[in-house]
Amino acid sequence: MFIVALILGLVACVGVWVALFKLTFDDRDGFLECVMYCFKPDLWSWIQGDGLEDFWCTLKLNCWLAIGFAAGAGTFLGVVSLFG
């Protein structure tokens, strides 16, 4: 049952990410911009005048990832506790 719970958790995680992608990033370019800001040092963003944009893009990406992980973990733990 562990493998089934793992697969269902992954499906739930990816499903939530797909469902929230358009709402969070609008398109692929918005997503890539957020990834770029996550890897750019914060000091460099503030020097360039993009500090607040860096903050919001990093927050959007981290929240999007966390919501997907929480959905997957919740599904996994729910299936394991009910049928384990």
Count of the separate structural domains present in the chain: 1
3-state secondary structure of 29: helix
- 10-55 pLDDT per residue, tens: 999 999 999 999 999 999 999 999 999 999 999 999 999 999 999 9
Distance from C-alpha of 79 to C-alpha of 6, rounded to nearest angstrom: 9
Residue 39 domain-assigned (yes or no): yes
Domain-located, residue 49? yes
Segments forming the whole domain that contains residue 20:
13-74
N residues, the chain: 84
Residue 82 lies in a domain: no
Residue 57 domain-assigned (yes or no): yes
Confidence grade of residue 58 (pLDDT, cut at 50, 70, 90): very high
4 domain-assigned: no
